[in-house]
A and B are shown apart, each in its own frame.
Chain A
Amino acid sequence: MPIKILTTVLAYLCIAAMATAQASLKLPETVKVDPAALTAEPICDPKISAAWREAQVIEGVHIQESRRCSPDNPHLIAAVVKGTNNISMGTLMETALSPDTIIKTDDIDGDGDPDRIIIRLEVMELNGQSPDFEGLIPTFDIAPGVQPGAWVFAPKTRGMSTENFESVRANSLLRLPSPVIRVEQGDIVQIVLENTHYLPHTIHLHGVDHPFTHHGGHVAGGDGVPQTSEMFLMPGESRTYEFQARQTGTMLYHCHVQTHTHLAMGLVGMIIVEENRPNNWVQTLNVGGGQVRQPSVAILEEFDQEYDLHYHAMDKELHEIIQKYNDPRLVARDMNRKYDITDSTEDYFTLNGLSFPYTLRESIITVEADQKIKLRVANTASEMLALHTHGHKATITHYDGIEHNPIAQIQRDVYDIGPAQRLDLTLNTTNDGLNSYGEGIWLFHDHREKGITTNGMSPGGNVSSITYKSYLNEMGLPMGIGIDVSKYFTKEFHARTLPIFQDLDEVGSLGAPAGQSRLESFNPESRTDMLNLFYGLLAGILLYLLFAKRQQTLQAVSGITAKLKGSKGSANNE
């Protein structure tokens, strides 16, 4: 038996040695990954009805066309413009909103629009842990298969958190980023925060004119700071933040509990105060940001379109914490005491909650020549954003919601935005070599190069494009003459197992080389080490066998010596 093993091992070593000798003669062939081996998904989600892209009127709400692959549900737009209290049951049932999510009442100034607005928000976890199975729930991919744990303020929904009982995917209202909130200047707004999460949270209205505190801070919210203006809003509790904004502008709202982690986890969104106009029913929520399908009256006076662009970044290690533990005490321990933000590096860079290639689905800016487009840009990452627009130089009109002196307004092609800062840009698509270079698919992205990666791999991150309609296909996807983008819609690309240069030419001159056998792939030094280890192992086994079968061995040895002696003896005898 040991002899058999020994011969097998020796034979293997011989073959390995031969292979090593051969390897130096010819380098390995290129191996191409067969597209059939990939977990691909359609570039455009086929579940979305094409009718959603059309301009339409629902419940008297004029909804602009949205030529994106993933446009907002027009029924949702109608519901958030009119308020869930002013729409038909049929429209409400087309959304997952609760009937009390947005209550619009009381035209106090008699100008034809409601002035008392109640907005109910819940706190939802995405890509969280389960004690019942190894996967995450409810899932939200920022790119195919990329699922960082996150918390969001979400419009109050009804029913399940997932699409249905069979699915683990979050329903469409539970997503990154926290929704953009729009109110009219002078509205009496109540944001009701219902803390459905297992940790304490608050809302701090960053830049929006609000009172410091209301009645001691236990019932009503103020500045949202638990150390100064109010208490922690514990799980299962609800609090109302009431304000009447006197100033307009692009602002933020975010959780002010352990802000260094809670903001990064996703509890941050844009809030916009629109100018007061008659008959101005503003689109109270823009779920997922991007195109505003029902811009306010004041915006339409000056612009053709309006877009909300919320940039964010995430440190993988922070977002993994809620996927490691189920016990809220352990989550709190790691969030509060183990995680060190001064050692953090940002890994995921998102625009409106998504990274490339999903940014192609819903964050492209679709334009025509000679348009004026309002871009509201917020940066909630912890580092500077250097946003660059290809083919266009936009004008910065507002800093942090405040209009810049019109004479002093500047035009650039890289706009630097610090953490929590906002810029309002006017994008002019007049082809004059300054405002626009002409029609095309013009990227816009962070020009810190890591911003266009996902966990350090490109293309990814917050890349999107300003796409002229003549370059859009019927599904709202840019028709480039570059390479096929479908490989980016695979899990394998994001799992780093797809060599992206393999199809640049027929022979695959930049594809992946075929692998060598284990032994070959070691460098000479470690190969010697491995061989030594192997010999050592063999010696060990032999020694063990000698020891374990020592009686037989002794017998055999004595037998042999006896034979030898015998033969000697016999020789002597002869």
Chain B
Amino acid sequence: MNKHLSILFAAILFVTAQAHAETEDHSGHNMDHSGHDMSHDHEHDMSHHGDDDHKIDDPEDHSMHHADDHSDHSAHGHGHHHMDDSHIMDHEGGMIMGQIKDKLPSSCDSISEDIEITVHAGKKYAEKFPGTMFAFDKQEWRVKPCARITWHLVNDDHVRHQFMMHGLPRYMYNNGMFHLEVTGPRTISGTMIVPASDETYLVHCDISQHMEKGMKAQLVVGNGSEDLPSIPGLTPYAFPDTYPYEDLPQVSDKDDEDTIMEQITDFIDSTPVLSGMLIIGLLLGALIAPIVSRIISLRKKEEAPE
């Protein structure tokens, strides 16, 4: 009986500690939102914000422009391709799609705020979220309705990443998308304007498995709408994995003379009996037992008058 109680106690402690850790983690994120670092010390900064040089008269003109020379590896390298101001691609595959600088959404009378947000993308930002591989440095950004945002996507990896936003009004944004894409280490920038309604927009990288493995975030306009699922540290997975206990080798296994404390911790750490299901069972049992006894006693009371 005593042994069972101690296991139960350990389990409760364990669960509480976990919950505590998770809350701390979460709040840590929310605090992050205030500081947007604006470092621009990257070699190949190719920001386009506020730069109207690239405007061309004929939006159907698909000819190549040799305006900027980024050709560091190729004599045949060409400059930026302009489909129009909203769709720009350079010779290394840096892309800006759905850029809007001046056109107001029909729901807005004026621009409410002009802000710049730097988003870092890369493997290292996934380190704080075990079980992911790629991430943005932040998982949520908040802006006012009718804000004009210039995004600086800083790709810290040496592969392609994307900053792809969905669900924007289709009369302004082709397929409802705003999209930045760049192979790192490099920065790409683009400007957009959000509508007046409270809305939460999906931001992700669409390269196979990048969103699934953590590169997912949300832009909250005003009060936002519903949170999106599976954002690291923010919202739980809709279909989470299960993690069965694995008896991995430990340094303590090699010690011959364990202290009593070590033996106890070993017991708690390594006894397969102390599985997640058992803990859940114990908690459920502890929760339900009083309710059942209450019901029984109520029943008895009801029966008593008879």
Binding site for B on A (CB under 8 A): 83, 85-86, 88-90, 92-93, 98-100, 103-106, 118, 122, 124-126, 128-134, 137-138, 156, 158-162, 164-165, 170, 174, 194-198, 234-238, 325-330, 333
* Cβ-based interface call for B92 (8 A): yes
B131 partner residues in chain A, CB cutoff 8 A: 326-329
For residue A106, which residue of chain B has the nearest CB?
B75
B92 partner residues in chain A, CB cutoff 8 A: 98-100
Do A198 and B134 touch (CB < 8 A)? yes
* Cβ-based interface call for B59 (8 A): no
Give bound CA distance, A319 to B272, whole Å: 30
* Cβ-based interface call for B93 (8 A): yes
Cβ distance B74 to chain A, nearest Cβ, rounded Å: 5
From B123, B157, B177, give the contact of A165 (CB < 8 A): B177
Chain B interface mostly = loop
Do B238 and A133 touch (CB < 8 A)? yes
Do B159 and A89 touch (CB < 8 A)? no
Give bound CA distance, A328 to B92, whole Å: 29
Do A131 and B237 touch (CB < 8 A)? yes
Q: A85-B78, A160-B206 known; A326 and B123 CB under 8 Å? A: no
Mark each residue of chain B from 230 to 255: 1 if its CB lies under 8 Å from any CB of chain A, else 0.
10000001111101001000000000
Cβ distance B44 to chain A, nearest Cβ, rounded Å: 13
Closest 7 CB pairs of A and B: A236-B157, A98-B93, A236-B123, A238-B158, A198-B133, A131-B237, A327-B131
A134 partner residues in chain B, CB cutoff 8 A: 239
From A85, A86, A196, A326, give the contact of B237 (CB < 8 A): A326
* Cβ-based interface call for B49 (8 A): no
Best-surrounded residue of B122, B238, B246 (most CB of chain A within 10 A)? B238
Mark each residue of chain B from 46 to 86: 1 if its CB lies under 8 Å from any CB of chain A, else 0.
00000000000000001110000000011111100100000
A93 partner residues in chain B, CB cutoff 8 A: 62
Give bound CA distance, A235 to B183, whole Å: 14
Do B209 and A128 touch (CB < 8 A)? yes
A89 partner residues in chain B, CB cutoff 8 A: 62-64, 81
Q: A98-B93, A131-B212 known; A327 and B241 CB under 8 Å? A: yes
Do B240 and A99 touch (CB < 8 A)? no
Do A236 and B158 touch (CB < 8 A)? yes
B212 partner residues in chain A, CB cutoff 8 A: 128-132, 137, 326
From B62, B95, B160, B213, give the contact of A326 (CB < 8 A): B213
Binding site for A on B (CB under 8 A): 62-64, 73-78, 81, 89-93, 95, 122-123, 130-134, 157-160, 164, 166, 175-177, 179, 181, 183, 206-210, 212-213, 229-230, 237-241, 243, 246
A162 partner residues in chain B, CB cutoff 8 A: 206
From B62, B91, B209, give the contact of A99 (CB < 8 A): B91
From A88, A133, A174, A328, give the contact of B213 (CB < 8 A): A328
Give bound CA distance, A137 to B213, whole Å: 13
Cβ distance B303 to chain A, nearest Cβ, rounded Å: 13
Do B239 and A132 touch (CB < 8 A)? yes
A138 partner residues in chain B, CB cutoff 8 A: 208
A92 partner residues in chain B, CB cutoff 8 A: 81
Do A103 and B74 touch (CB < 8 A)? yes
Give bound CA distance, A297 to B267, whole Å: 72
Cβ distance A309 to chain B, nearest Cβ, rounded Å: 26
For residue A83, which residue of chain B has the nearest CB?
B76
Give bound CA distance, A142 to B115, whole Å: 48
Do B159 and A103 touch (CB < 8 A)? no
Cβ distance A497 to chain B, nearest Cβ, rounded Å: 27
Do A131 and B239 touch (CB < 8 A)? yes
Give bound CA distance, A325 to B132, whole Å: 12
Give bound CA distance, A83 to B64, whole Å: 16
B134 partner residues in chain A, CB cutoff 8 A: 198, 235-236
From A159, A197, A325, give the contact of B181 (CB < 8 A): A159
For residue A164, which residue of chain B has the nearest CB?
B175
Give bound CA distance, A89 to B237, whole Å: 41
Cβ distance A278 to chain B, nearest Cβ, rounded Å: 20
Can you report 16 A-B residue pairs in the complex whose CB atoms are below 8 A from each other?
A90-B62, A92-B81, A99-B91, A99-B92, A106-B75, A131-B212, A131-B239, A132-B238, A158-B89, A160-B164, A194-B183, A196-B160, A196-B208, A236-B157, A326-B131, A327-B243
Q: A99-B91, A133-B239, A326-B237 known; A234 and B123 CB under 8 Å? A: yes
For residue A160, which residue of chain B has the nearest CB?
B206
Give bound CA distance, A156 to B230, whole Å: 27
Cβ distance B272 to chain A, nearest Cβ, rounded Å: 17
Give bound CA distance, A234 to B122, whole Å: 12
Give bound CA distance, A165 to B63, whole Å: 28
B210 partner residues in chain A, CB cutoff 8 A: 196
From A100, A105, A126, A238, give the contact of B75 (CB < 8 A): A105
Give bound CA distance, A197 to B229, whole Å: 22
For residue B133, which residue of chain A has the nearest CB?
A198
Cβ distance A312 to chain B, nearest Cβ, rounded Å: 20
A156 partner residues in chain B, CB cutoff 8 A: 93, 160
